[in-house]
Amino acid sequence: MKVIYLTGFMGAGKSTIGVELAKLLNCPVIDTDEAIVKKEKRLIPEIFEQEGEKYFRNIESQVLKELPKGDCVVTTGGGLVVASENREYMKQNGIVIYLQADFHSLYKRIQHDPNRPLARNHSYDKLKTLLAERKYLYQEADYIINTDDQEPFQIAEEIAKLV
């Protein structure tokens, strides 16, 4: 089985859906953010504060390329798609699924999460603009799945049927 990469904005449900999908496909799920924390031995907000976003994005790209090349589900950070090399890498090495959701739904899910430095440090309007800037990058995915008004297991079942 090819790697299944779940992409999308913060709060789209990548981590939750990834766990459900991995159960259905009987394979491991790997979260790029968790892999970064393990590699760096510090939390993502700390990396952002101490090193900045550019450093974090470089580590994110490195970690992506160090992950297994098959038989797993990979849940990506919301900004991983910003680097064209990451989008190309995922397309060449697996199936890319964009988990799309309405901005208002996303914002409700992320607004009080202390583990999301971009959400914590940006206003509603700034986050909405950030999504608009990234949306076309997410849409380069092989499949687009809307996560509004669906339970994670339903979305996982839909993805499993596609792949």
Query: Which two three-digit tokens encode residue 98?
Result: 């964009």
77 carries a ligand binding annotation: no
> What are the pLDDT digits (tens) for 30-74?
999 999 999 999 998 899 889 998 999 999 999 999 999 999 999
Residue 95 or 149, more confident: 95
The reported pLDDT for the residue numbered 118 is 59
Cα separation, 142 vs 132, whole angstroms: 19
Contacts 24+ apart (CB under 8 A), 81-88: 81/7, 81/134, 81/137, 81/138, 81/140, 82/57, 82/134, 82/137, 83/57, 85/61, 86/60, 86/61, 87/137, 87/140
Contact 77, 115 (CB under 8 A): no
Q: Confirm or deny that 109 is annotated as ligand binding.
A: no
Q: Which of 161, 152, 35, 51 is nearest to 95 (CA)?
A: 161
pLDDT at position 13 is: 92
Residue 116 assigned as binding residue: yes
50 labeled binding residue: no
Specify the CATH superfamily of domain 3-162: P-loop containing nucleotide triphosphate hydrolases (3.40.50.300)
User: Is 120 annotated as contributing to ligand binding?
Assistant: no
For residue 141, say whether it is annotated as part of any ligand binding site.
no
pLDDT in tens, 121-158: 567 788 889 899 999 999 999 999 999 888 999 999 99
Q: Is the pLDDT of residue 119 over 80?
A: no
Q: Please say if the pLDDT value at position 116 is more than 80.
A: no
CB 3 within 8 A of CB 67: yes
State the pLDDT at residue 97: 98
Q: Report the distance separating Cα 109 and Cα 148, nearest Å.
A: 12
**Contact criterion met (CB below 8 Å) for 143 and 137:** no
